[in-house]
Amino acid sequence: MAKSSDFKTEDFVVYPTHGVGKILGTEKQEIAGTELDLLVIDFEHDRMTLRIPVSKAHESGLRPLSSKKQMDLALVKLKGRARVRRTMWSRRAQEYEAKINSGDPVSIAEVVRDLRRNSSQAEQSYSERQMYQAALDRLAREFAAIEKIDEETATSRLEKLMNIDKTPDDVVDTESEDDFEGEVE
């Protein structure tokens, strides 16, 4: 059970399905005849305010920002070699979506790494580009909050990290001849 001292006003926190938000404070609200203490969290990027019962904060997956050590692990994953399974895109997309919505920076970094394209690789589909951008944005927002920099700088740093020491040997062919979006199982 969360205590209100676990999360403080002005703290940056991560909510798995929405990413980085800032705690605006707490408020009391009566819901169905029960008075609840709610954490009020602002997600500036999504122009959204979320209210979560303080007692359910941890259950909901709300967590403080990752430590620098945790983010360093994510950056190591980001710099690694892409590991793309040769399954249908729809199945991979579900797995990527689950990793993004987990809120775990290491899992999100894996998605960014696996969906990143070199100029020498085939063009990405619209859905691949959208998912890549969503994962990169989510990772950059947490990286920016940890490093106390703006999102644009964070994104730029992450992209530079991915381009370091990349050789043509690192290019991974993500599609096999029998793997295409219109395939029926």
Question: Where do the domains of the chain lie, and which CATH numbers do they carry?
Answer: 4-64 (2.40.10.170), 68-170 (1.20.58.1290)
How do beta strands 12-15 and 48-53 pair? unpaired
In three-state secondary structure terms, 117 is coil
Rounded mean pLDDT for each run of 10 residues along the chain, 185 residues in total: 67 92 94 92 91 91 93 93 86 95 94 81 84 95 94 94 60 41 40
How far apart, in whole angstroms, are the C-alpha atoms of residue 184 and residue 124?
A: 20
How many other C-beta atoms can be found within 10 angstroms of the C-beta atom of residue 1?
9
What pLDDT, on a 0 to 100 scale, did the predictor assign at position 123? 77
Radius of gyration, alpha carbons of the chain: 19
3-state secondary structure of 111: helix
* Tokens 């394209």, residue located: 117
Q: What amino acid occupies position 109?
A: A
pLDDT tens profile 42-79: 998 889 999 999 999 989 999 999 999 999 999 999 99
Return the bridge partners of 64, or none. Answer: 13
The backbone torsions φ and ψ at residue 84, rounded to the nearest 5 degrees and listed phi first, read: -105, 120
